[in-house]
């Protein structure tokens, strides 16, 4: 996989707008910002609709059959060209990409720079709530894209596997999976806490950041609830490492089930600050 397989730039998307086969989704975590303004024709990608509401942990992926059905209900067919974006935080869009890619959709891209890039390129904004007609989607799942707690437990002492915490170092120090290393997803994006992290770094900068971890045969990324972890995982794909997975339950599940951790305090307390 290369950069163009995962990302689309705003000027290219502007040229595609109006194509009957295109499906554009705003994957911002809540619909408030979608209601305030979005790319014309874009539909809100509700992460909860693609998540297992029977799970005690938030934003964990639906069972396979239900996921395929939900993708079709959202208006996506196997032939659709899908574009996902977010406002202010790229990880939400990459999470949507990861879910669709896991289900076997091969024509999905993330708008690099999100809504900010769209506006900067001269793209118009609308406030009308949009919906696509339901479609039919035939899934072809890629199970290696997600790691279970069982796989993480089994590979904690495997020198061929890197288990990577993508949260900021202060969170890692508070609590992390024993034996895991830290590489914040923010080091792979351009932005700041006030304006948001909208852009993925250029390929050479990504490769430089990932070079030590990329030496492992398999890479498992995790965060709080499986969203930010997709940034690091996608960056590895772009730079040529295909054997990478997201631990979907991440710290919510790991801590909730009292699995082996190391740290100086409570991760939840840091998250509330």
pLDDT tens across 211-231, in order?
999 999 999 999 999 999 999
Which of 141, 164, 196 is the last residue in one of the domains?
A: 141
Q: For residue 137, what is the domain's CATH number?
A: 3.40.250.10
| Judgement on whether residues 107 and 189 belong to the same structural domain of the protein | no
Q: What is the pLDDT of residues 77-107, one digit of tens each?
A: 999 999 999 998 899 999 999 999 999 999 9
Phi, psi of 92 (to 5 degrees): -65, -40
Q: What is the pLDDT of residues 10-57, one digit of tens each?
A: 999 999 998 999 999 999 988 999 999 999 999 999 999 999 999 999
pLDDT-derived band at 133, boundaries 50, 70, 90: very high
| Judgement on whether residues 134 and 153 belong to the same structural domain of the protein | no
| Judgement on whether residues 87 and 22 belong to the same structural domain of the protein | yes
User: What's the mean pLDDT in 158-187?
Assistant: 96
Which of 141, 171, 201 is the last residue in one of the domains?
A: 141
**CB proximity list for 244: less than 8 A, separation 6 or greater:** 145, 218, 219, 220, 221, 233, 236, 237
More confident residue, 131 or 191: 131
| Judgement on whether residues 115 and 177 belong to the same structural domain of the protein | no
| Judgement on whether residues 75 and 166 belong to the same structural domain of the protein | no
| Judgement on whether residues 240 and 162 belong to the same structural domain of the protein | yes
Q: How many Cβ atoms from other residues are within 10 Å of residue 166's Cβ?
A: 28
Please tell me the distance from the alpha carbon of residue 68 to that of residue 58, in angstroms, as a whole number: 19
Q: Which domain, by its residues, includes 199? A: 144-271
User: What's the mean pLDDT in 143-163?
Assistant: 97
Residue 207 token pair: 């490769």
| Judgement on whether residues 8 and 136 belong to the same structural domain of the protein | yes
Residue 158 token pair: 């495997």
| Judgement on whether residues 33 and 107 belong to the same structural domain of the protein | yes
pLDDT-derived band at 154, boundaries 50, 70, 90: very high
pLDDT over 90 for what percent of the chain?
Answer: 90
- Supply angle C-alpha 67, 257, 68, rounded to 5: 5
Number of domains forming the structure of the chain: 2
| Judgement on whether residues 162 and 118 belong to the same structural domain of the protein | no
Scan for tokens 């590895």, then name that residue.
Answer: 236
| Judgement on whether residues 122 and 172 belong to the same structural domain of the protein | no
User: What's the mean pLDDT in 144-172?
Assistant: 97
Which of 117, 141, 165 is the last residue in one of the domains?
A: 141
| Judgement on whether residues 117 and 202 belong to the same structural domain of the protein | no
User: Is the pLDDT score of 73 beyond 60?
Assistant: yes
91-129 exposure pattern, b = at least 16 Cβ within 10 A, e = fewer: bbbbbbbbbbbbbebebbbbbbbbbbbbbeeebeeeeee
Tell me the whole-structure pTM to 2 decimals: 0.95
User: Is the pLDDT score of 67 beyond 70?
Assistant: yes
| Judgement on whether residues 212 and 112 belong to the same structural domain of the protein | no
Sign of the four-CA dihedral 56, 60, 66, 71: positive
């Amino acid at each position: 996989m290369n950069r163009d397989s995962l990302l689309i730039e705003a000027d290219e998307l502007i040229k595609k707008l109006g194509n009957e086969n295109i499906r554009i989704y705003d994957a911002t975590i809540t619909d408030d910002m979608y209601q305030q303004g979005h790319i014309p024709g874009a539909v809100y990608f509700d992460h909860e609709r693609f998540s297992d509401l029977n799970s005690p942990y938030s934003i964990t992926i639906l069972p396979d059959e239900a996921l395929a059905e939900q993708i079709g209900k959202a208006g996506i067919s196997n032939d659709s060209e899908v574009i996902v974006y977010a406002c202010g935080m790229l990880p939400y869009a990459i999470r949507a990409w990861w879910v669709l890619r896991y289900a076997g959709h091969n024509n999905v891209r993330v708008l690099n720079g999100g809504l900010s890039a769209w506006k900067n390129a001269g793209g118009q904004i609308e406030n009308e709530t949009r919906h696509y007609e339901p479609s039919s989607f035939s899934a072809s799942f890629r199970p290696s894209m997600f790691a279970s707690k069982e796989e993480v437990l089994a590979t904690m002492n495997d020198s061929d596997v890197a288990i990577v915490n993508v949260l900021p170092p202060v969170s890692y120090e508070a609590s992390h999976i024993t034996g895991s290393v830290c590489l914040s997803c923010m080091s792979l994006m351009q932005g700041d806490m006030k304006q948001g992290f909208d852009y993925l770094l250029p390929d050479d900068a990504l490769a430089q950041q990932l070079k030590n971890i990329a030496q492992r045969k398999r890479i498992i990324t995790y965060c709080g609830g499986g969203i930010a972890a997709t940034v690091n995982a996608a960056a590895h794909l772009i730079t040529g490492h295909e054997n990478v997975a997201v631990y979907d339950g991440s710290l919510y599940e790991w801590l909730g089930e009292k699995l082996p951790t190391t740290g100086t305090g409570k991760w939840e307390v840091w998250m509330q600050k």
